[in-house]
Structure 1
Amino acid sequence: MGNSNSSSLQQETPKRYKTTEKVSVCRTETTTGSHRFEIHNYSLTKGGGHEKYILSKIFCVGGYDWAVRVYLDGARKEDSEYLSVYLQFESKSGEAKTDFSISLLELTTGKTVLKKKSATTTTFNSTKSVSGFSQFLKRDIFEASNCLKEDFFTIICQVTVIKEPHTYITKFPAASAPINTYYEIGHDLLLSETGADITCEAEGECFPAHKCILALRSPVFNAQLFGAMKDEKQDKIKISDVRAPIFKAMLFFIYTGLLPDHHY
């Protein structure tokens, strides 16, 4: 079996190429942190009136400074029967878009209770530096609860800073076509004709091939080569009603899983 068809098959080998797909991605990132504000000697601190408040130490979340502001006698006259609790923006510049929540610590269980969340996303800046709950909890209910023990209670403030959406370009890894093991092996077998044990003839043109590959890829060839009517001595198959160029392309597909560049 010669190599008369090797050059023509080589010409039909698909070009190897690489494609890189670029994708635009928009991502909004957030940073979340919490602060625990412990207030001791409650009975000595309350009673200062609604203009008086206590302030936690400054803490940082998302690159901004914050503090918790607490009015033990209410922030306004109409809030005098309530605890008023606020988140305060302490950064000197910038603008922070946030979601936040404020809750009390239940001292007997160590769990947070009465968690109140901001109804909408709040933007803090030099103009709007405080936001929270003027009527956080009625003082008589608070004083009778397990949140106040031995003249001590704890406020938990959680802050989520929402950063501006960031759009960037990413790339999918370059895809090679048709460079793969299946293609390489099938292509080399077809071109080299190494181990070819059958010849397919179409319109008088002969194409060396391998029985096992033909049978594996085609039920028709499988029945003809390994079925009940197989001929042990058969070394040639005549292909009728198929033009030689068409069969050549079909044979290339059987071996590589790809179609050649040329169309017939």
Structure 2
Amino acid sequence: MESIINHLQAVRDESPIVHNITNYVVMNNTANALLAIGASPIMAHAHPELQDMVKISGATVINIGTLDEYWVESMDIATKAANEFGKPWILDPVGAGASAYRNETITKLLKHSPTIIRGNASEIMSMAKVNAVTKGVDSTNTSDEALEAGIALSKKTRAVVCISGEKDYVILEDRVTAIENGHPLMGRITGMGCTATALIGAFAAIVKDPFHATVSAMCVLGIAGEMAAEKSSGPGSLQLHIYDALSQISDTDITNLAKLSSLSNNDL
């Protein structure tokens, strides 16, 4: 708990720049969430400025939700630059398995060694070449069903893998933390997973250990969702209250509400 509290305070104190190449649907939502947590978002995909944007940012977030050829090249340039400048970059493989083009794009991006991969259960299972059922960009698998695939994907890529769902898992090879914070209403807001990825970017920009950064981000968002749900009458008001909760979440909230557990090899 103390680490999560310290990480959140560091994000608020240092206000890291988080560079996002993300999808049209969630741009406004993720930018507002980053501002609410205390980070500084940049949404930039123009080829001539990508080197500069990656260089000044603490982390780069790549979200493949709305693909086209120009943006795929932007993602390729940005991830190469992140490696060149020693910056963490986070991959959100939205809709993995839904089309050959998405799968080809993911394969291309994986060659640039993402620091962290965050996806829903079906996306992670697809990336690990496990049979998964998708409904557009939504998952019809549970995070528990994807846990073995997540471990395999982390071992293959050497990236931290985060499976989001009713229960979130953060994985680094055989190291697994489960997070049971959140609220079912969060699943009825477009791009809540994309928001999680953006927040991971904010923490990864500050916290040197990407595993701890991911755990902190997912825990904070889950708690914020619980706090927001208490004041909300539906998904529309929940979205607004999540921004408020992200900006107001306190040390006491984290201490009292965080639900974390580490899994041993016997539990896997």
Q: TM-score, normalised to structure 1's length?
A: 0.21
Does 1 or 2 have the higher relative contact order (CA < 8 Å, sep 6+)? 1
The structure with the largest strand share of the pair is 1
The structure with the largest helix share of the pair is 2
Q: TM-score, normalised to structure 2's length?
A: 0.21
Which structure has the larger Rg? 1
